[in-house]
Amino acid sequence: MKLIKLSLHNFRKFDKAEFDLDSDTVLICGPNETGKSTIHQGIIAALFGIGTESAGLLAKDEIKSLQGGNPAVELLFSAQGETYKIERDLEKGKARLFKKTELSDFAKVSEDLKFISQFILKTIGVSSPAVFNKTASIKQADLAQISNLSEIGENLEKIFAGTGNISLQKVEAELDKLRKSLRKERNEKSGELDKLAERKGELEKRLFDAQNIASESQNLSEEVEQLSKLVPELEARISELDSLLLKLQEKINLETKRNDLRKQWKEANEKLSRILAYKERKRKIDEELQEFAANKKTKNQQPILAFSLGILGFVLAGISFASLGTLAVLLIFGVIFLAAAILIYFFPKKKPVETDEQKNLLLEKEILERSKENLEEEANLASILENLEFDGNAQNRALEAFGGFNPSTEEVEKWKSELGARKKELAESQERFHFSRGVLKVEREGNVSPEILAGELEYLENQIQEKEQLYQAILVAQQTILGIKQEYHGQHLPVLEKEVSRLFSVFTNGFHNKVALTENWPAILVEDEKGNLIPEALSQGALDQLYFAFRLATADLLSQNVKIPLLLDDPMVHFDDQRRNQAIAILAEVAKERQVIYFTHDEELAGKLTKSIGKSKLVQLV
Amino acid sequence: MIRFIHTSDWHLGAAFSVLPPDLASARRVEQKKAIEQIADFAISEKVDLFLAAGDIFNSQTPSALDIVFVQNIFSKLTNSGIKVFAIPGTHDAYEAGGFWDKLSVESSASIIFTGAGLQNYALQDFDLTIFGYPYRKANHHERVLKEFANEEINAKNSILLFHGSWENRGIELTKGYPFTTEEINTLPFSYIALGDYHKFAQVGAKAAYSGAPLGLDFSAGELGPKSFILGEIENGKTTVKPIELQTTEFSNQEIDLTTVSPAQLLADLSAQKNSQQYLRVELSGIPSLEMAAFISNLKNDISPYFAYAEIKENLAIPNVAEDESTYFGMYCKKLKEMIAKENDEKRQKVLQKALVLGIGLFNK
C-alpha cells in the first residue's frame, strides 16, 4: 500500500494544501509548529474519518480550522494494484470513495461510511484504526513513554488486543468482575444471580403460602357459609328439643303433684277411716261394757221371767180350758209354758265378761279417749278431702292437655342425648364460625393475591433468565479467551520473537542477538553479551530501539502481509548518533518493503535519511 | 335520547408481570384510578346506562378486595341513578357457585347477566331492552352471535352486551365466541357493546369495542392510549365517541441499529422523554462495534426519561473483522464459528451474547 497525495482544506493550520507523497520514502521536514503533526493527522482522518479517541480517531475539535470553514481531506492511495481516492467532508461526516479506472478517471465506489470504513480496514489489512495507530503510526511520544521491558510487553498486549487501549488481561479482569457480580465462587460475596435465586426461593415460598391461604380461604369461606346455615338450624333444633323436654317436665310436674294429692287424699282418707274405726271401736267397747252391765241384770231376771211364763202358761191354759173345755189344751199350754220357763231359766244366753277383759276394755277406751283430738279432726279431714278431690280434678284436667304426649323413656333419653350433642355442636360451630370468619377476614385483606405473586415470580424468572444468559455468555467469553490466548501466543510469538530479535540485533549492532518472548510472556527477556537471557534493565535508548523493533515487527504481523506505510513521527529523537545511524540503516531496509513517511524537525537527519535511503521525496515545511 | 358509557376489559387483579414488582404494584393502583375516572365521568355526564362488557376481573378467582372495589363502583353508579349492566368475559367467565353469584347478590341494584344463553332486561322508561350474553367456559368456540339475528325485540331501542373476538382483526381468529362484521351487521340491536379487544374499534355500523382502561403489557393490542365509550341512542340509532384516559402507556419501539450511531440513538430516545410511558426498545439490525459496546448500558442511559424502559436485543451478528492477527479478531472469529455451528437456539443466543459482550469489552 502506498499513499500518493494528501489534500487538506480548512484543516487546522492549512487553509488549502496539497502534499505529494508519491515515493517509497517521504521526508516531511520542518521546524516545530510548521504542520508535521497536522499532516500525520490528515492522513489518519482521511483514512478513518473522525470520531472518538477511544476508537483511535481524532475528535472534531482537534481538526478545526483556524480560519474557519468546513474541514475536508482527500487522499489518493494505491493498494493491491488499484488506485483509490477518498474524500471526506469532516464537518458533515460524509465520505466518498473512488477507484481509478482504466480510462484514468476516478469512478465512485461508495458513499456509505460503513462500507468505506470496512473497505479501508480490509485494504490496509488492520482490524481497526486503533491498531493502525499502534502499529504503522509511530510517534515520538510512544517511544519516550516506555521505561522498562515489562511496559513493552504490556503495550504489545494492547496492540495484540486489536481495538485500542485495552489489553486482554484487562478484558479478562472485566469479565471476572462481571462474573463475580453475577454468581459467586467459593468465598466470594453473593452475586446478582445468587441474590435473585434467593429472592426466587422466598417468592416461591410466599406464593406457596399465598396459594395455601387462598385455597384455605376458599375452604374457610365455604365453611363459614355452611356454618352460617348450620348454626341457626342447630339453634332451632335445640329450641325444639328444649321445648319438648320442658313440656315433658311440665307433664311430670303435674303428675307428681297429682300423685302427691292422691297420696295426701289417701292419707287423709286413711286417717279418717282410722278415726271412724276408733269411733266404732269405742262404741263397741261402750256396748260391750253396757253388755257387761246388762248381762248382770239378765241373769237376775231369768227365774222371774221363767216363773212369769209358767204363770202365764197356766193362765192361758186355764182360759183355754175354760173356754174350750178341753184338758188337752190345758196340758199343751201348761207344758209349753213350763218348758219355756224352764228353758229361760236354765239357758244362760251369754256368759258374763271376766273382769280382766273388762279391765282391758276400760283401758282401751281410756287410750281412745286420750286421742280425742284425732277424733275432733274428723270434720277437718272431711273438708280437706273435699279440697283434695277438687285439686285432683284440676290436675287431671291439666293433664288432659298432654293427651297423646306420651314419649317413651327411650324416646326421651334420645332427646336428651341429642340435645346434649347438639348443644355441644352448636357451641363448637359458633366458635368455629367466629374464628373462621375472623381468619377469613384477615386472610382476605392481608393475603397478597397469588396471581400477583405469580406475576412477580414471572418477572423475577425473566430477570434470572436474562442474567443467566449473560452469565453463560461470560463463561463462554472466558473460556474462549483462554483458548485464543494460547493459540495466539503459540502462533504469533515465535514469529514475532524471530523478527524482533533480528531487528534488535541489527539496531544494537549485534550487542543483543536474541529477544525471548515465548518463555514467560508478557515478560520479555533480552540476551546479554554473555548469551544469558535476562530481564535486562536497558538504557532508554536501547528500550526505544527495542520498542521500535517491536512496532515494526507487529506492524507486519498485524497487517496480515499488507505492507502498510510507516508513519514515523521523529522516533529517533533520543537515539545517539551511532544508534541513529543504525536506525537509518534499518529504515533503508524497511523502505525497500514499504512506504516510509518520516516526520522530523531535524534537517541533518533528513539529509542523512535521504542519502542512505536513496529514492526519496522531501517535503519541506516552513 | 339514551346516553351511556361503554367500557370493558378492566382486568382487575392483573399481575403486570412485564413490569418490576414496585411498578406493577403502582400500575394496579393506576388501574383502579382509571376505572374510578370512568365511573366519575359517567356520573358527571349524568348518563343513563353504564355497560361493562366482560373481563372486569383478570381471573375466575379475584381477590376479595377487587370484588369489593367493583361493588363500590357499581353502587356509586346506581346510587347516582345510573343503570349498571355487566357480563362475565373470557378471563372472569361465569362458574356456578363462583364469585359472580355473590357479586350479583351484593350488587343487587346492578344487572349482571350470568344465566345461560341470551338474557334481557327491559327498561320501559327508555323503551329499551338490554340483552346480555355471559361468557361461560363450556361453549366458547361456538359462533353464538349470529344466532341472535332473529331475536324478537319488543322495544324501540335495544343494546347487546357481548364478549367475543372479531375475526377481521386478524389476530388469533378462532378464540372466544368469534364473529364477523357481516354477522354483526345482521343483528337487530340498536347497539352492540363489545368486549375482548383492548383497543377502541368500531365494528360495522352499530358495534364497537370500548377498549381496556389501560394496557397490560408490551404486546400489540396493549400499546398506546386507552379509552372508554360515551354513546347515545336516538330513535334506534347509535353514535359513539371514544374518550381517552390519561394513563401510563405501554410503548414498543423497534430500532434498526445498522445505520445509527450511539450518539444519535441516545439523542433520539432522550428526545422522546415521557414519564407517562413504559418503553420497550427492540434493537435489530447489524450494530457497529461502537454500538455493540454502547448498548450494554443503554437501559441505564434511557431509564431516567421514561416510567420504565427495557431493551430487547434482536440483533444480527455485528460486522467484525475476523482476522487472526489480534485477540479481538480471533475472539470474533471463534465465536462466529461457534454460533454458526450451534444448533440449539438458546445456546446460540448465549454465544451471540458472548460475542457482543466481548465486542463491548474489547472496545471499551
* pLDDT tens digits, A581-590: 877 877 887 7
Q: Contact, B293 vs B363, CB < 8 A? A: yes
Torsion of CA A134, A137, A140, A142, to 10 degrees: 0
CA atoms within 13 A on the CB side of B360: 21
Cα nearest neighbour of A442 on chain B? B64
Percent of the residues in chain B that have a pLDDT greater than 70, as a whole number? 96
Quote the CA–CA distance of A380 and A425 in Å, as a whole number: 57
- Say which residues have a Cβ less than 8 Å from residue B151's Cβ, sequence separation at least 6: B118, B131, B187, B188, B189
Q: Which of A241-245, A334-338, A436-440 has the lowest mean pLDDT?
A: A334-338
- Say which residues have a Cβ less than 8 Å from residue A557's Cβ, sequence separation at least 6: A492, A495, A496, A499, B325
For residue A354, the model assigns a pLDDT of 60
Strand partners, A94: A89
Cell of A49: 474519518
**pLDDT over 80 at A293, yes or no:** no
Q: Count other C-beta atoms under 10 Å from residue A535's C-beta.
A: 14
Cell of B139: 361453549
Contact B334 A161 (CB under 8 A): no
Contact B325 A128 (CB under 8 A): no
For residue A299, the model assigns a pLDDT of 61
For residue A549, the model assigns a pLDDT of 84
At A107 the three-state DSSP class reads strand
Chain position carrying cell 487501549 = A165
Quote the CA–CA distance of A3 and A47 in Å, as a whole number: 10
Query: What is the rounded average pLDDT for all residues in chain B?
Result: 88
Average the pLDDT over B254-274 and give the result.
Answer: 89
| Chain A hits for B69, Cβ within 8 Å | none
| Chain A hits for B288, Cβ within 8 Å | 114
Quote the CA–CA distance of B327 and A158 in Å, as a whole number: 9
Quote the CA–CA distance of A449 and B15 in Å, as a whole number: 9
Q: Count other C-beta atoms under 10 Å from residue A324's C-beta.
A: 11
For residue B5, the model assigns a pLDDT of 95
Query: What is the rounded average pLDDT for all residues in chain A?
Result: 83
First to last CA, chain B: 69
Quote the CA–CA distance of B320 and B329 in Å, as a whole number: 7
Cα nearest neighbour of B14 on chain A? A452
Contact A470 B15 (CB under 8 A): no
At B218 the three-state DSSP class reads coil
Model confidence, pTM: 0.68
Given B58, B64, B327, which is nearest A488 (Cβ)? B327
For residue B227, the model assigns a pLDDT of 94
**pLDDT over 80 at A357, yes or no:** no
| Chain A hits for B334, Cβ within 8 Å | 480, 483-484
Q: Where are the alpha helices (DSSP H) in A325-350?
A: 327-346
Tell which wins on pLDDT, A336 or B282: B282
**pLDDT over 60 at B63, yes or no:** yes
Q: Contact, B216 vs B231, CB < 8 A? A: no
Which one, of A156, A388, A355, lies nearest residue A270 by Cα?
A388
**pLDDT over 70 at A429, yes or no:** yes
Given A54, A160, A455, which is nearest B15 (Cβ)? A455
| Chain B hits for A484, Cβ within 8 Å | 327, 330-331, 334
Rounded to a whole number of angstroms, the distance from the CA of B66 to the nearest CA of chain A is 10
**pLDDT over 70 at B58, yes or no:** yes
Question: Which pairs from A329-338 meet CB under 8 Å and 24+ separation?
Answer: A337/A309, A337/A310, A337/A312, A337/A313, A338/A310, A338/A313
Contact A485 B327 (CB under 8 A): yes
Average the pLDDT over B300-310 and give the result.
Answer: 92
| Chain B hits for A481, Cβ within 8 Å | 327, 331, 358
For residue A302, the model assigns a pLDDT of 67
**pLDDT tens digit sequence for B154-184:** 888 899 999 988 876 655 555 678 888 888 8
For residue A57, the model assigns a pLDDT of 74
Strand partners, A95: A88
Q: How does residue B45 score in pLDDT terms, banded at 50, 70 and 90?
A: very high
Using N-to-C axis directions, what is the helix angle for A192-324 and A355-370, rounded to 10°? 130
Average the pLDDT over B277-287 and give the result.
Answer: 90
Ramachandran region of residue B54, left (φ > 0), alpha (ψ -120 to 50) or beta? left
Q: How does residue A560 score in pLDDT terms, banded at 50, 70 and 90?
A: low
ipTM: 0.83
Cα dihedral sign, A602-A608-A613-A615? positive
Rounded to a whole number of angstroms, the distance from the CA of B356 to the nearest CA of chain A is 9
For residue A313, the model assigns a pLDDT of 75
Q: How does residue B203 score in pLDDT terms, banded at 50, 70 and 90?
A: confident
DSSP B179: B
Strand partners, B119: B132
Ramachandran region of residue A169, left (φ > 0), alpha (ψ -120 to 50) or beta? alpha
Cell of A365: 277406751
Measured CA to CA in angstroms, residue A157 lies from A537, A547, B21 at distances of 20, 13, 45
Strand partners, B223: B250
- Say which residues have a Cβ less than 8 Å from residue B107's Cβ, sequence separation at least 6: B70, B71, B74, B75, B78, B84
- Regarding beta strands B201-203 and B207-209, do their DSSP bridges make them parallel or antiparallel, or are they unpaired? antiparallel
Quote the CA–CA distance of A605 and A584 in Å, as a whole number: 9
Q: Contact, B257 vs B291, CB < 8 A? A: yes
For testing the chain A interface, which of B18, B297, B308, B327 should be mutated: the one with the most A CBs within 10 Å?
Answer: B327
Q: Count other C-beta atoms under 10 Å from residue A354's C-beta.
A: 10
Backbone angles phi, psi at A374, to 5 degrees: -50, -45
Q: Count other C-beta atoms under 10 Å from residue A81's C-beta.
A: 5
Ramachandran region of residue B170, left (φ > 0), alpha (ψ -120 to 50) or beta? left
Ramachandran region of residue A175, left (φ > 0), alpha (ψ -120 to 50) or beta? alpha
Tell which wins on pLDDT, B30 or B156: B30
Which one, of B276, B194, B278, B277, lies nearest residue B242 by Cα?
B194
| Chain B hits for A459, Cβ within 8 Å | 17-21, 24
Contact B323 A127 (CB under 8 A): yes
**pLDDT tens digit sequence for A450-479:** 888 899 999 999 999 989 999 999 999 999
For residue A20, the model assigns a pLDDT of 92
**pLDDT tens digit sequence for A206-225:** 888 888 888 887 788 788 87
- Say which residues have a Cβ less than 8 Å from residue B288's Cβ, sequence separation at least 6: A114, B257, B261, B318, B319
Rounded to a whole number of angstroms, the distance from the CA of A232 to the nearest CA of chain B is 21
**pLDDT over 90 at A375, yes or no:** no
Tell which wins on pLDDT, B299 or A134: B299
| Chain B hits for A171, Cβ within 8 Å | 327, 358, 361-362
Quote the CA–CA distance of B221 and A453 in Å, as a whole number: 24
CA A371 to chain centre: 100
| CB burial string A273-293: b at 16+ within 10 A, e below | eebeebeeebeebeebeeebe
Cell of A281: 271401736
**pLDDT tens digit sequence for B311-328:** 988 887 777 766 777 888
Q: Count other C-beta atoms under 10 Å from residue B361's C-beta.
A: 26
Quote the CA–CA distance of B301 and B269 in Å, as a whole number: 10
Cα nearest neighbour of A476 on chain B? B354
Quote the CA–CA distance of A50 and B332 in Å, as a whole number: 25
Contact A54 B58 (CB under 8 A): no
For residue A331, the model assigns a pLDDT of 76
| Chain B hits for A127, Cβ within 8 Å | 321, 323, 325-326, 328-329
Percent of the residues in chain A that have a pLDDT greater than 70, as a whole number? 93
Average the pLDDT over B26-53 and give the result.
Answer: 94
Q: Contact, A28 vs A567, CB < 8 A? A: no
Burial of B324 (C-beta count, 10 Å sphere; 0-12/13-18/19+)? middle
For residue B214, the model assigns a pLDDT of 93
**pLDDT over 90 at A572, yes or no:** no
CA A550 to chain centre: 60
User: How many beta-carbon contacts under 8 Å exist across A and B?
Assistant: 151
Burial of A32 (C-beta count, 10 Å sphere; 0-12/13-18/19+)? exposed
At A406 the three-state DSSP class reads coil
Quick check: bond before A348 cis, omega within 30?
no
Average the pLDDT over A137-157 and give the result.
Answer: 77
DSSP B279: E
Quote the CA–CA distance of A139 and A129 in Å, as a whole number: 15
As a residue count, chain A comes to: 622
DSSP B234: E
Average the pLDDT over A157-179 and give the result.
Answer: 84
Strand partners, A58: A50
Please name the helix (run of DSSP H) or strand (run of DSSP E) that holds residue B312, with its range, or none: strand B306-313
Cα dihedral sign, B358-B359-B360-B364? positive
Measured CA to CA in angstroms, residue A2 lies from A13, A586, A596, A615 at distances of 25, 19, 9, 15
